[in-house]
Amino acid sequence: MHTTSRPHVHLPGVWDPKITTFPGLYVVGTGFGSAVHHALSTFQVNVVAPSLCSLNVLRSINVLFNIGSLFLIVKLRCMKYAPDAITTGAVHGIVIALFPVHYFFSFLYYTDAGAVFFVLAMYFFAQRGRADRLRHGAMTMSHLVSAAV
């Protein structure tokens, strides 16, 4: 058995093959950080550029994905069961959003929240569309997004 006296520490700029997060989340994070930077500069808020890639900013991406997932769940529930019963759809959406596994990963910088959002979005578009062309486009888009995320 081989032991080391120093713990393994990730070195910046060096790829760690044990990290399994796909690059799609990093691309979204870069775009989101850039959008936050431009929005803050529009309102003349002085922010240091490295703080735009802080953990709080990056984790807020999952908050946006979860808000989108909640909206899509409510829309799907209302579409499927009772279009007029928005409160029932909202309650079901909140219960599903607070599901322990989904809720736990909401506060991490990980791909689960984005994956749930994009699966729900593709399902919503597939349910909403009646033409085969739209369904084919939604499936193609879901394959592209799942490969990126």
> Could you tell me if 111 and 149 are in contact, meaning their C-beta atoms sit under 8 angstroms apart?
yes
Count of structural domains within the chain: 1
In a domain, 113, yes or no: yes
Cα dihedral value 40, 42, 47, 48, nearest 10:
110
Confidence category of residue 122, pLDDT binned at 50, 70, 90: confident
Confidence category of residue 10, pLDDT binned at 50, 70, 90: low
Q: What is the spatial distance between Cα 75 and Cα 55, in angstroms, rounded to a whole number? A: 31
Residue-averaged pLDDT of the chain: 75
- What global pTM score does this model have? 0.68
- Please report the pLDDT score of residue 41 as a whole number: 78
Q: What is the spatial distance between Cα 24 and Cα 22, in angstroms, rounded to a whole number? A: 6
- Please report the pLDDT score of residue 19 as a whole number: 66
Mean pLDDT computed over 91-111: 81
In a domain, 143, yes or no: yes
Q: Which pLDDT tens digit goes with each residue over 20-49?
A: 666 777 788 888 888 887 887 787 777 666
Helix, coil or strand: residue 6: coil
In a domain, 39, yes or no: no
In a domain, 31, yes or no: no
In a domain, 84, yes or no: yes
Helix 23-42 and helix 132-148, axial crossing angle in degrees, nearest 10: 90
Residue 52: which residues within 8 A CB-CB, separation 6 or more?
33, 34, 36, 37
- Please report the pLDDT score of residue 104 as a whole number: 81
Q: Which pLDDT tens digit goes with each residue over 68-90?
A: 998 998 888 888 776 667 777 78
Q: Tell me which residue range forms the domain holding 64.
A: 60-148
In a domain, 83, yes or no: yes
Confidence category of residue 15, pLDDT binned at 50, 70, 90: low
139, containing H or E segment: helix 132-148
